[in-house]
Chain A
Amino acid sequence: MNSVSSSILSINELNNFFKKFNFKQDSKHIQEYISFIKEASFYHQNIIHKFYDTKDNKLIGFVVLSTTKAVDNITGILIEFIYLKSEYRGMIDKIHQTKYSYLILDYVIEVAIKIQKEIAINHIYLVPINDKVRTIYQKYGFENIPHSGNNKFEDYMVFNLLEEDFTIE
Chain B
Amino acid sequence: MAYVIRNGKLEKAHQIRNLTSEQKNVLRVSTQKQLDKLEEVKKRVKKKMSIDE
- A82 on the B face (CB < 8 A): no
- Given A141-B31, A160-B27: A149 and B14 interface contact (C-beta under 8 Å): yes
Contact of A36 among B3, B4, B31, B36 (CB under 8 A): B3
A-B contact pairs, 26 of them (CB 8 A): A29-B10, A33-B3, A45-B1, A46-B1, A70-B2, A70-B14, A71-B16, A73-B17, A110-B41, A113-B41, A114-B45, A127-B3, A127-B13, A129-B3, A141-B31, A145-B19, A146-B22, A146-B26, A148-B16, A148-B23, A149-B4, A153-B4, A160-B31, A162-B30, A163-B29, A164-B28
Binding site for A on B (CB under 8 A): 1-6, 10, 13-20, 22-24, 26-31, 33-38, 41-42, 44-45
